[in-house]
Amino acid sequence: MILLMASGVGFRALAARYASVGRATPIPKGTLAHLPLELGDWMGVDVPLEQAIIKGTDTDDHLNRNYVRRNGMAAVSVFIGYGVNIRDLMPHRPEVCYGGAGWMRADTRKIELTLPDGTALPCQLHRFNRGVLESRQVVVANYYIISGEYCGDVSLLRSKAGQLRTDGAYAAQVQVAAAAGAFADAAEEAVRAFVADSGPLVYKLLEDAVTKATNATVVGGGRVD
């Protein structure tokens, strides 16, 4: 009986420990919507998603929005997903989702953008084609922000998912896409520009939200020194 009780206590302690691994700090729904609609010379409009699609993203908060430059010469679509279960973000990568929707990947490159403060933002840049007679192209940049660090590769998200615990941990995925048509270089320039313009704002939005949520948990849990 003592062994059974001891093993039961040990199992529950172990389960509680691993239940928190790979989980992010919950933030209020609608947090990502606070990303400014007016962002530099970009003007945004929200694009609501159907509930079935939202459920399929496995996110606990998301943003889906189109941005157009004021001069009308560039347009991008933006999706940001935040998941409490960090592992749920891993399958939703452009090479998986676009491929499943019938797009053929033409090229994937790792790039690094320099932000205004000198910070390096690594990301993956994809080009996809679709159709034969009326071929269409789209350029997609994808990166993650994981507990205050920009990450361009899902392998880093995978490795960190087993290390992160709920207190102060978070992960979000950012995808920026532009329809290319016959002007793939222009689409790539638009994607690069928007990632560089928006990256610091997305970063700060997440940092502030997670810090606030963590502090609220500490106060509510009576763990303030």
| CA distance from start to end of the chain | 39
Distances (CA, A) of 152 to 169, 201, 220: 18, 17, 35
Q: In this structure, is residue 59 part of a structural domain?
A: yes
Specify the pTM: 0.83
Q: For residue 39, is it within any domain? A: yes
Segment of 7-16, 22-31, 51-60, 197-206 carrying the highest mean pLDDT: 197-206
- Confirm whether 181 is domain-assigned: yes
**How many domains is the chain built from?**
1
Domain membership of residue 69 as a residue range: 2-219
Q: What DSSP element (H or E) covers 110?
A: strand 104-114
- Residue 12: what pLDDT? 37
In a domain, 225, yes or no: no
Lowest-confidence range among 23-32, 49-58, 108-117, 214-223? 214-223
Per the prediction, the chain carries an average pLDDT of: 81
* Least confident interval from 19-33, 34-48, 52-66: 19-33
Residue 84 lies in a domain: yes
pLDDT in tens, 44-98: 999 999 998 888 888 889 999 999 999 888 999 999 999 887 777 777 788 888 8
CA dihedral 142, 145, 149, 152 (to 10 degrees): -20
| pLDDT, tens only, 116-146 | 889 999 999 999 998 765 578 999 999 999 8
- Asked if residue 224 belongs to a domain, the reply is no
Does the pLDDT at position 154 exceed 90? no
Q: How confident is residue 168, by pLDDT bands cut at 50, 70 and 90?
A: low
